[in-house]
C-alpha cells in the first residue's frame, strides 16, 4: 500500500471516528449504527498496510484482534439484549487474547519489566479487585463469570504491554502502555455504567467511553508502527 493510500485510509478512520463521536455525543442513532462497524476494519486496513516488513505473526495477531473488535462493536449496537452483550464481550475477549499473544511474542527471549519487577502486577490486580468489588452487587443473570474472565483478560493485556519496558523504544512503549491503560479506563466506565445500581447519570459518559476506546485502539496501532519505523530496536 502506497503512502498516499495509507494516508487516505487513516483519514477515513479519523473521519468515521469523528462522526461516531458526534453521533454518540448528540444521541443520533443512525449515525452511530452506520459508522461504528466501519471503525476497526479501517484501522485494521491501515495497520496491515503500514506494518509491511514486520513479523508476520505480530501483523496477523493485531489485524485479527482488530477484526474481533469490529465484531464486538457491531454486536454491542444491540446491547439492550443480554445475549448480544455477552456475544460482544466474547468478541472483545478474543481480541484481548490476540493482543496478549502479540505483546508477549515481542518479549520472547528477552527479559521484560515484569521479570525484573513483578510487584508491578500488584497495581493491576489491586485495581481489578476494586473494580470487581464495585461491580459485584449488580452482576446478575449469569454475568459474574464473563465479567471476571474478561477483566482478567484486559488486565493481562495491560501487563503484557507494561512488560515491554526496555524492549520497545521509549516512545513506542509509552504509546502502547497508554493505549492499554485507556482501554482499561474505557471498559471500566462501560462496566460501571451498565452494572452499578447508581448508574453514572451523565450525558457525557457514553462519549467518554467511545472516545477512550478509539484512543486506546489508535495508540496501540500507532505504537507498533512507530516501533517498526525506528528499526524495531529496544
CB atoms within 10 A of CB 34: 14
What was the pLDDT predicted at 200?
67
Q: Tell me what the mean pLDDT of segment 188-195 comes to.
A: 92
Q: Tell me what the mean pLDDT of segment 128-141 comes to.
A: 91
* Stronger pLDDT, 97 or 81, i.e. the higher one: 97
What was the pLDDT predicted at 140?
81
Q: Give the residue from 66, 132, 62, 70 showing the smallest Cα distance to 100.
A: 62
pTM: 0.94
Domain total of the chain: 1
**What DSSP string runs through 158-206?**
HHHHHTTBTTB-HHHHHHHHHHHHHHHHHHHHHHHHHHSSS----TTHH
Residues of the chain with pLDDT > 90, as a percent, come to: 77
Q: Give the residue from 108, 73, 109 showing the smallest Cα distance to 187.
A: 73
What was the pLDDT predicted at 134?
93
What tens digit of pLDDT does each residue of 84-122 get? 999 999 999 999 999 999 999 998 878 888 888 888 899
By the 10 Å C-beta count (0-12 exposed, 13-18 middle, 19+ buried), 165 is classed as buried
In eight-state DSSP terms, residue 233 is: -
Residue 220 binned pLDDT confidence (cut-offs 50, 70, 90)? very high
Residue 209 in contact with residue 193, Cβ under 8 Å? yes
What tens digit of pLDDT does each residue of 38-55 get? 999 999 999 999 999 899
Residue 72 in contact with residue 84, Cβ under 8 Å? no
| Residue for grid cell 519496558 | 165
In eight-state DSSP terms, residue 87 is: H
What was the pLDDT predicted at 202?
75
Alpha-carbon distance values, 164 to 6, 114, 221, 233 (Å): 27, 9, 15, 12
What was the pLDDT predicted at 1?
80
152 assigned to some structural domain: yes
Range of the domain at 7: 3-229
107 assigned to some structural domain: yes
157 assigned to some structural domain: yes
What was the pLDDT predicted at 234?
43
Residue 232 binned pLDDT confidence (cut-offs 50, 70, 90)? low
199 assigned to some structural domain: yes
CB atoms within 10 A of CB 42: 21
Report d(CA 77, CA 178) in Å as an integer: 26
19 assigned to some structural domain: yes
Report d(CA 104, CA 121) in Å as an integer: 15
Residue 159 binned pLDDT confidence (cut-offs 50, 70, 90)? very high
75 assigned to some structural domain: yes
Q: How many CA atoms lie within 13 A of 114 on its CB side?
A: 17
84 assigned to some structural domain: yes
What was the pLDDT predicted at 230?
84
Residue 35 in contact with residue 20, Cβ under 8 Å? yes
234 assigned to some structural domain: no
For residue 218, pLDDT over 80 is answered with: yes
**What DSSP string runs through 22-45?**
HHHHHT-HHHHHHHHHHHHHHHHH
What tens digit of pLDDT does each residue of 192-209 get? 998 887 666 677 899 999
Q: Tell me what the mean pLDDT of segment 58-83 comes to.
A: 93
Amino acid at each position: 500500500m502506497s503512502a498516499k493510500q495509507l494516508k487516505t485510509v487513516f483519514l477515513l478512520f479519523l473521519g468515521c471516528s469523528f462522526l461516531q463521536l458526534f453521533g454518540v455525543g448528540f444521541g443520533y442513532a443512525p449515525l452511530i449504527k452506520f459508522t461504528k462497524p466501519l471503525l476497526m476494519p479501517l484501522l485494521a486496513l491501515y495497520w496491515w498496510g503500514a506494518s509491511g516488513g514486520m513479523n508476520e505473526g505480530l501483523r496477523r495477531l493485531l489485524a485479527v484482534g482488530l477484526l474481533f473488535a469490529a465484531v464486538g462493536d457491531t454486536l454491542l449496537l444491540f446491547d439492550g439484549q443480554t445475549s448480544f452483550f455477552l456475544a460482544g464481550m466474547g468478541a472483545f475477549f478474543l481480541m484481548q487474547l490476540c493482543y496478549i499473544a502479540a505483546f508477549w511474542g515481542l518479549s520472547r527471549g528477552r527479559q521484560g519489566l515484569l521479570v525484573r519487577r513483578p510487584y508491578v502486577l500488584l497495581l493491576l490486580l489491586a485495581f481489578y479487585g476494586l473494580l470487581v468489588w464495585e461491580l459485584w452487587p449488580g452482576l446478575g443473570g449469569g454475568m459474574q463469570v464473563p465479567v471476571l474472565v474478561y477483566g482478567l483478560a484486559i488486565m493481562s493485556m495491560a501487563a503484557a504491554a507494561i512488560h515491554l519496558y526496555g524492549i520497545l523504544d521509549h516512545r513506542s512503549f509509552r504509546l502502547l502502555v497508554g493505549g492499554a491503560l485507556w482501554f482499561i479506563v474505557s471498559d471500566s466506565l462501560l462496566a460501571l455504567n451498565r452494572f452499578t445500581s447508581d448508574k453514572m447519570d451523565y450525558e457525557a459518559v457514553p462519549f467518554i467511553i467511545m472516545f477512550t476506546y478509539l484512543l486506546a485502539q489508535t495508540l496501540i496501532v500507532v505504537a507498533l508502527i512507530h516501533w517498526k519505523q525506528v528499526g524495531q530496536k529496544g
